[in-house]
Structure 1
């Protein structure tokens, strides 16, 4: 019996690296975006989905969509380098909300991609921030803000001051930040239906991409890209007949 258990333990230990490898995804090498559906059965939507994000924004439809109403009052409580992005998390009791077509969506977390994931007429921006929200029914809405290099961003500096430089490290924020100051003054935006831009690439996500960018300094961009060690943007995906409205 002891021999059998010992043999089973050895076999199980030998399988662990393979299992870990099977579920790993990345932005380069064998786990890069074109292979996401191969690294885990849960990621099939990344390959077969018809409403995938990000996209190239062009040929928009004028629809006079309702303005975005934001009410951001609380600060994130922690920041983590998860190896894929820098992400700031919010408490479950957070009061940060956006109202989309009369429906309130509560802010869950925000994170960054460089270069941008969504493009405008084929153009990448230096960086893109995703504010991920969820409503009472569990539906997801992502507000995306583009960054271009220029004047240093004071609110971003507060996040970057605490940014863990290594993967799988987290830290408590040292200063409160005002999420409103990470948004452009003009909240006009493009809207389309899409997906998460990371595995499992779940669809049914409402996307609101701000038309006007904000700025960050070259040094702030470099600090982020150094922490990531590589670009962390998924390539743009086919529209498959979807309409982009503004």
Structure 2
């Protein structure tokens, strides 16, 4: 009888422990909206960027937030600093999948794809996705495309931090990584789906220059969570016109662009390491 009582109690503890472990390893950015039907980028649409904060109470920050992204990095608002230091990257090749999320095209690594170090904190890479045209601007100039490399720190006291590295692209020579992904992207044009794309090395997303902007902002899609550490490389990369066109064709929410409008800076500081 004693063993019969202990066994159910033991199983209960095991189930509780499993639940705790699952919760502790849940990626914060799972909160990013995956369902394309919930919002769009169409100008004048009731589900467009100007109305995101009204569509759900969980998205109110999109309307009421004071640290929203993207922003314009105008020279007269930027403060040059040296203490930020060189961006420390430690990426690893790993298996990945390519997914058409409707509002963007995403590469998601299925395991440990390495990390970046910001102020002594390790942020682990989870996914990268593209916007066209760029979301961030420099001195009011919008570029052809922008990639966001999304990272998350380990949880401390049940919370983790998000860091996004952004790179801007102008029309020019083809981008090597996008050239490698093009056949998979073509198979996902106007189609919801996911494709295994084998081993992808995040280092193939070339940073180039050593100068970068840094500011505190938000996710650029609902729920527009704030407190995101943004790092925008100052060097402008290049993509071909055909690569840009393919990305725009693949995104199937019927919008010609998937870039959120520029948000107010609201006295935030923009630092430029260089």
Give the aligned partner of residue 201 of structure 2: 178
Q: CA RMSD in A?
A: 1.5
Give the aligned partner of residue 11 of structure 1: none
Deviation string 1:92-140 (CA, Å, 9 cap, x unpaired) is x313211111211000100000000000000001000000000012200
Q: Aligned to 2:241, which of 218, 222, 225?
A: 218
Change (3 A) 1:45 1:76: farther
Q: Aligned to 1:146, which of 164, 168, 175?
A: 168
Q: Aligned to 2:112, which of 91, 94, 114?
A: 94
Contact 2:190 2:249 in 1 (8 A): no
Change (3 A) 1:201 1:167: farther
- Could you tell me how far 1:89 is from its partner in structure 2? 0.6
- Aligned structure 1 segments of 4 or more residues deviating by more than 4 angstroms: none
- Could you tell me how far 1:48 is from its partner in structure 2? 0.5
Cα separation, 2, equivalents of 1:239 and 1:139: 21
User: 1:186-205 alignment to 2 at 5 Å?
Assistant: 186-205=209-228
Which segments of 5 or more consecutive residues in structure 2 lack a partner in the other structure?
1-34
Q: Aligned to 2:100, which of 81, 85, 89?
A: 81
Give the aligned partner of residue 13 of structure 2: none
Cα separation, 2, equivalents of 1:198 and 1:181: 25
Deviation string 1:156-177 (CA, Å, 9 cap, x unpaired) is 111222111124211111x533
Contact 1:37 1:44 in 2 (8 A): yes
**1:34 pairs with 2:53:** no
The TM-score with structure 1 as length reference comes to 0.87
User: 1:48-63 alignment to 2 at 5 Å?
Assistant: 48-58=64-74, 59-63=77-81
Cα separation, 2, equivalents of 1:186 and 1:105: 21
Deviation string 1:218-240 (CA, Å, 9 cap, x unpaired) is 11111111112420000010010
Which segments of 5 or more consecutive residues in structure 1 lack a partner in the other structure?
1-20
Give the aligned partner of residue 25 of structure 1: 39
SS at match of 2:78: coil
**1:237 pairs with 2:263:** yes
Cα separation, 1, equivalents of 2:73 and 2:138: 5
Deviates most, 104-113 or 76-85: 76-85
Contact 2:96 2:200 in 1 (8 A): no
